[in-house]
Amino acid sequence: MFKHFFRLIFLLFTLSSKVVFAHAVVTETSLNIDPVQAGKTRQVSLIFNSRVELALSHFDLVKKGDVHERLKVDQGQKRGEVIVELPALDPGEHAIRLKVFAADGHLTEDIIHFFVVE
């Protein structure tokens, strides 16, 4: 909850300031709108506040037991959109660990937690 609060404060500060921030920050995700169903592959949309250099970025699925699996990603149609391919997953908590480079080369690391439902 605090993570989302700080993101909101950061975004409000960014929008109200004339200072330009160069880090690629996730501002929206389809995980909040449409839950991931167990046993089905799924595309997830992540919207960043700037363009992401996919060739220099990493997106990993984190499963129970801290098991990491590299995820396939593609550029989306919207500015700053990245489409992440999730494999079929078991119910429970999972996460996407991302390490992204903004178009200007600034590095951002984040973890997006989500639940897979029956």
- The enclosing domain of 42 has a CATH number of 2.60.40.1220
3-class secondary-structure state, position 20: coil
Residue pair 118/91 in contact (Cβ under 8 Å)? The answer is yes
* pTM, to two decimals: 0.77
Average pLDDT of span 16-39: 78
Which among 1, 8, 2, 29 is positioned nearest to 96, based on CA atoms? 29
Please give the residue range of the domain that contains residue 88.
2-117
pLDDT tier for residue 67 given thresholds of 50, 70 and 90: very high
Q: How many domains does the chain have?
A: 1
Q: What percent of the chain has pLDDT over 70?
A: 81
**What pLDDT is attached to residue 22?**
57
